[in-house]
Amino acid sequence: MSLQNEAGYFFTFTKEILDDIMPLLDTIVPVETVVPADIVTPVETVAAPQEVPEYRPYTPDRVLRKEKNPLYVYFEVGGVRLLRSFSDHGRQRDNGPVLDEIMDLTAQMLSDTTSSAKHIQIVGLASVEGRTEDNQRLSDERALALQRYIQERLPIPDSMFETVGGGEAWSEFRDQLQDLRYSVYLQIYYE
């Protein structure tokens, strides 16, 4: 049995100790429970687990950008190399902070002894421009590029990954258009 104190430390009691102290606890009305330090073993502080989303397999109608805390990395147009940063038609793309966050979250998942992750879902997407076959290949290879990036840095077997090439991002595109349709631009100018 483990208990957590106010400072956030977990204490683990062996069955033998619990068998000895449980009858005593039933006979007293504690004002403050004090357990002698020699019968508990402090365990490292464990952060409260983050809210874990319910698993949903990827389907083309799923709008990923509307899901809680999506993490996106970007690729060069027509590219499948995962770069920390690059320039895309004059627009600077910086994947570095997101890649660092992905690695931090994945490392935390691996070190979490209170739960067991079943899999890591990676969905590769491509723009709606171009040939459908080419975009499917791009999305497949982009998802695998992120999987390889993670596996080059952490010992995670292929079986932990659900790597999906989502093809052309039509659902994302339609959703963005829908948002634009109901948006209004307002600028107030002062003299």
- pLDDT tens by residue, 31-69: 343 434 443 334 443 444 455 567 888 888 888 888 888
Rounded CA gap, 90 and 111, in Å?
40
Does the pLDDT of residue 184 top 80, yes or no?
no
Q: pTM value?
A: 0.66
- For the domain 64-181, what is the CATH code? 3.30.1330.60
Please give the full DSSP string across 101-139, using - where no structure is assigned: HHHHHHHHHHH-SS-----EEEEEEE-SSS-HHHHHHHH
Q: Which of 91, 82, 97 is nearest to 150 (CA)?
A: 82
Q: Identify the band that residue 92 occupies on the pLDDT scale cut at 50, 70 and 90.
A: very high
Outline which parts of the chain fall under CATH 3.30.1330.60.
Answer: 64-181
- Percentage of the chain surpassing pLDDT 90? 42
- Average of per-residue pLDDT values in the chain: 76
